[in-house]
Structure formats: structure tokens, C-alpha cells
Chains A and B, each alone.
Chain A
Amino acid sequence: MRFTFATVQYESGDWDSAPLLAANVIDAVARYTSIDVAPSGAIVPLSSEALLRYPLTFLTGHLPVRFTAAEKVMLRRYCERGGLLFVDDHNHDVDGVFHKTCTEELTQTLSPLTKIANTHPLYRSFFTFRDGPPTTSHELNGWGDNLVHEHLMGIERNGRLAVIYSNKDYSSEWSFHPENKKFLSVDNTRFGVNLVVYALTR
């Protein structure tokens, strides 16, 4: 059964704010690894049993996040069983509406988020990122606070990361057509490969 990149659809907010991200990550995985990856991604409702068929899922948005009761139940079950949810704040804010509400919902549903050390195996699961999570162009000169976020945040279950939370705005960084990678001196989607490989091997 091949690996399928799945984007989570939730009731509140703009879950589909980064429609090109899936194709870019899929392209990177296919380009650098021999992982059998489905050529197109899937969209799966957070409240649906189908979520359990995708052990790695992606959630993003700009707007406030409020999980429904059904979404909370399914998210809890998903993480307990071994699923990994990668959340990225499309605003890359520290105290923006997505960040405030989403971290609150994750804390209430699962447990408080803690910093992921920059020496975590996630940063060397395929490519090596010696300084932790790669900085995005949107952090350096982007929209809001001009603040570089040093760490990703996470929630663990049974010794494994069940949630990876980012406010580095990879949703913007990876939202371009994969064909345009040839214009980049360094492929900035390589960290996406690390995320997928970490999910498949840990």
C-alpha cells in the first residue's frame, strides 16, 4: 500500500489555504527517495474514520481554529493509535489567531505542546539540518513579526511525536509548482522529505 500525503479538512477556518503544498512534498519524496508515493494527495475530514487510513496528515490555515466534538474524538484516537499530525501556521505568527486558537485546541484535546529540541532525530531522518528546523523566507522578511522561530513544537505519544506544530510558515514556503524548483539554488522542500521519512520510520 503506497504512501499518500493527506491534508486534513476541518470545520472551522480555511483548511485549504495551501493547495499546492501537497504536490510539492510528493514531488520531493519521489525525487529523493524510493518510497512508493501516490502521485496525488488526499483530503480527509478530521472527524472521519478515514483519517485513520493516513498515518501522516497535514493541517494548515490562517483563521481561528475550533475543533468540533467529533473532530476532537477522532484526533485523540488518531494520535493514540500512532498517527502523526503536522500543523503549520500559514501566518507564521506567534500570537496570531491561528496560533492562539490551534495551540489551545491541541492542548485541550491532547496535551500541552513542548519544544522539539533541535537535535531531535526528525532533523536527520533523511537530510541533515544541523540547526534544527530550516528557516523560511517568510520568516526573514515576511508579513508579520520578522521573528525567526527557533524551534518547532510537539506532542509525544508512546515515545513518538504525534503532533508537530510549526509557525515557520512552510505552507507559504512550499506553495509553488514543483516545476519551479529548478530555479532554486537549494531545494527548500527537503525538510518535507524529513517529515515523511520520520513518520515512516519512527
Chain B
Amino acid sequence: MLLALWRLRTPTVSPSPVVAVGVDGTLDTQLATLLRTPSDTIDVTLQSVPTARDRALLRTLRGSGHVLRLRADAPLVASAVSAEAEWRASGGTRVQLVGGHSLVATLSDGAGLLDSVRFDSAGVRRRTGPLEGALLLRGRTTRAAVAPLVAAAPVVARVFVTGAATWESRFLIAALEESGWPVDVAVSLSPTVTVTQGAVRAPSRARHAIAIVLPGASAAAIAALPSFVRRGGGVVIVGEAARSAGLGALRAGAPGTLLAGELGAEAGDKPRHGLDLVPVASLTAGSVALESRDGRVAVAARRIGAGRVVQVGYDNSWLWRMGGSDDAPMAHRRWWSALLSGLVPLSHPTTTVRMTPATDTLDAAPVAALARDIGLPDVRAASASVRGTSRSAALDLRWLMAIATLALVVSWTLRRWRGLA
């Protein structure tokens, strides 16, 4: 009894096990071993941010009553990555990254290094080619990996372009075709003459993924757009086309007064400053600005039903291609191609990913969802938030009580026998 009482007052203190989360983010000790440890406290040394699996293991240990003391020799920064296949003739992937401010990391896939990135508070976006296996982000003390979302079925990414015959229509169609986009065209030359490529005069979801509306588009083509976009199609409204009566309900915002481009700027390092601009003067509810120039919204986007609408204020982007610097034709192609790639609807993505963005690239804070997905035990907290009953102490007490009870019974029995004798 005295022994039991003494044991209760001064419980046995076992030395705390020290486990480490290595540079690969995994614990160096099995969970089963840790759960059997007699110590209440487990010291965890973090050499890098634990993987999602091992963060779950640490939460399990905490929930089982252990106290976790976390320590890191160097500041740790969490990171997260998402990847989604996007349509391009040669295949492509749209990547979003979020991480601690000023984190420097490398991006690679199964084929090797893709890029190096430096994070800022807004996160990082990249467009790469098709990925080989999973996408891996590696920093000094952090890593994240994801398998890209891919469509289950081949995506129809044909583009329909409609409007009057202008240099903008001509060079835009050329840029898309040079980038590998299949293009149908309905361009008007007179009230009775329309040049078509693809023998269609209006966009159809059965055939097209995206419709581009230039100034002078026909009434029939414009009338088909509301149902086209609600059924998942992407619509791009270019320049003065935003003033068309039939597009009022679709556009991302009211068009402002035309602003002339800065003469010669198309050959400089900000080529789109040289283009005439029909700014998006007031954004419709739910629209977001994608690009601005001199404080005015140049490109804006919104969702409508299952589809998306992008309003491009630049009225003569062909000037950039013709009059820009040596890489202007390629830059012009890439800019338009990237804009359209974000509009192609991917059907039935099937690949499971660890980090799932709740929003897409057209939303105002696309990386916020990724940031929320990063869950990391606070390294600065030296003790667990939950302290449960020590299981080892309870176990000892039960045995001691059993022994004490047995001792009492034996003692009483012996006295009775002596009395009878």
C-alpha cells in the first residue's frame, strides 16, 4: 500500500524519445514505436516541413495524449503546389505555387528540372509543357508534390473567330493557327459576303471550346453566345466589340473611352502600352481584373454558368506582332495562346491530387486555397495544445492497486487462520 501510495505521488519519469523529421519531410521512427513509448513527452526535431502524411501522424500522437515538443534549427517555410493540364497544341500544364515569402525553390518532374522560382506574397504561376509523372517542388526546408489533373476524355479545343475583316482578325487568326489551335472563321466583308473557314457562321459547343468576338461580329454569332458560354464554352470579347448590344449581359464590364496607345511603345519592354485600349471602365459583379495598364483595367474575366468570359481591351494587338521587338511575333502568339488556354474547359478530371485548389486561375486569389491547404503544427509552440491522461501512469496504478488489494486479502486471510488455529 505504502509502495502504491509512493508510486502515485512520484510517478516514474521515462526519458523523452527524440525523433526527427528529415529533409524528405518524413519521421524517422515508426508510429507504433512512438505510441508504445512510456514517456509523456516526445521531442520532435524538424529538419524540414513534414509531409501531409507525417503531419497526420504527429496529430495522432498529440491526440493519444503525448506532448509534442517541436524544434527546428532553421526557419521552416511551408509550400503547396497544384497542376492542371491545359490545352495547347504541344500539350501544357498550368502550375500554381504558394510558399513563404522569399522562398527559393526548384520545380521538377520525372524528366528533370523545369524551373526555379522565388515566391512573393502573391504566389507564383507557371505554364510548362506536358509533365512526366508528378510535379515536385523542392526548397531548402520544404517540399511539395502533386500529380497534375488531366481530362478523362480528349478535349475539343477548336476556336471560332467572328468579326469584320481587319488586320486584328487576320493576325489573331494567324497567331492562333501558328500556335496549333484549330480555328473556324466567319469574317464579314460586306452585308452579303462572309469569308468562312470551317463552313460555320456561329459558335457551337458541339464543335468549339472558345469563341472570339471581334468588332463587326454578326448578330447571329452574338445571339448564340449566351447559351454557348452557359454550357461551358469560353468567350473572348476583343476591343470595341464590347460595345455590341448583344454582349451587355456577357461582358466583364462596361467599356470605357478608347485610349490611344503610346506611339512606338510596342517595340519596347512594355509592348502592350503601344496598343489602343478600350478599358473595362466598371467591372460587373463577380468579374476580376487580370491585367491593368496605367491604372485602367485592360483585361477582365468572369464566370457565367459553366463557362467563362474574358474581355480584352486591346484593340489592335497586331501592332505588337508587326512593330514589336525581335521576339514580338512569338510573344504575341504566347500571350493569346495563354489567354485561351485558361478558357478551355477540361472535362472530368480524374487524377487525384494532394492539394486541390478551390478556385481556378481566373479568380482573384487563386493561391489562397492552396495556402489554406497547408496545415503545419506551429513550430514555436513547445507543448501540445491538448494534454490527455498519461496512459502509462494509469497502467501502473491499476497494477499497484491490484497488488495492494491482493496483499490486503492475503493479510486478512492469514489473520483469520491464526484466529481459528
Contact = CB atoms under 8 A, between A and B. Distances in A.
Interface of A: 1, 3, 32-36, 49, 52-53, 55, 80-83, 125-126, 158, 160, 197, 199-202
A34 B322 contact: no
B188 A36 contact: no
Contact of A49 (B171, B190, B267): B267
A54 to B, nearest CB: 9
B190 A34 contact: yes
A81 B321 contact: yes
B165 interface: yes
Ranked 9 nearest A-B pairs via Cβ: A52-B323, A52-B322, A200-B165, A1-B316, A34-B190, A33-B190, A33-B189, A81-B322, A201-B195
Contacts, number: 71
Nearest to A1: B316
B322 A82 contact: yes
29 contacts: A1-B167, A1-B168, A3-B166, A3-B167, A32-B190, A33-B193, A34-B189, A34-B191, A35-B165, A35-B166, A36-B164, A49-B267, A52-B323, A53-B319, A53-B322, A81-B321, A81-B322, A81-B328, A82-B329, A125-B195, A126-B193, A158-B178, A197-B189, A197-B195, A199-B170, A200-B169, A200-B170, A201-B169, A201-B195
A65 to B, nearest CB: 24
B387 to A, nearest CB: 72
B195 A55 contact: no
Interface string B137-162: 00000000000000000000000000
A35 B168 CA distance: 13
B228 interface: no
Contacts of A81: 321-322, 328-329
A79 B101 CA distance: 46
Nearest to A35: B165
Contact of B164 (A34, A80, A199, A202): A34
A35 B189 contact: yes
Contacts of B323: 49, 52-53
B315 interface: yes
Given A33-B190, A34-B190, A201 B164 contact: no
B145 to A, nearest CB: 41
Nearest to A201: B195
Interface of B: 164-171, 174, 178, 187-191, 193, 195, 216, 264, 267, 276, 315-316, 318-319, 321-323, 328-329
A49 B191 CA distance: 35
A60 B93 CA distance: 50
A36 to B, nearest CB: 7
A80 B267 CA distance: 16
Contacts of A197: 165, 189, 195
Contact of A55 (B193, B276, B318, B328): B318
Nearest to A55: B167
A84 to B, nearest CB: 10
A6 to B, nearest CB: 12
Contacts of B189: 33-35, 126, 197, 201
Contacts of B188: 34
A201 B318 CA distance: 14
A82 B267 contact: no
Contacts of B174: 82, 160
B184 to A, nearest CB: 14
Contacts of A3: 166-167
Contacts of A158: 178
A125 B195 CA distance: 8
B361 to A, nearest CB: 30
Contacts of B328: 81
A3 B189 CA distance: 13
B190 A82 contact: no
Given A55-B322, A158-B178, A36 B166 contact: yes
B196 to A, nearest CB: 10
Give the interface centre of A80, A125, A126 by most chain B CB atoms within 10 Å.
A126
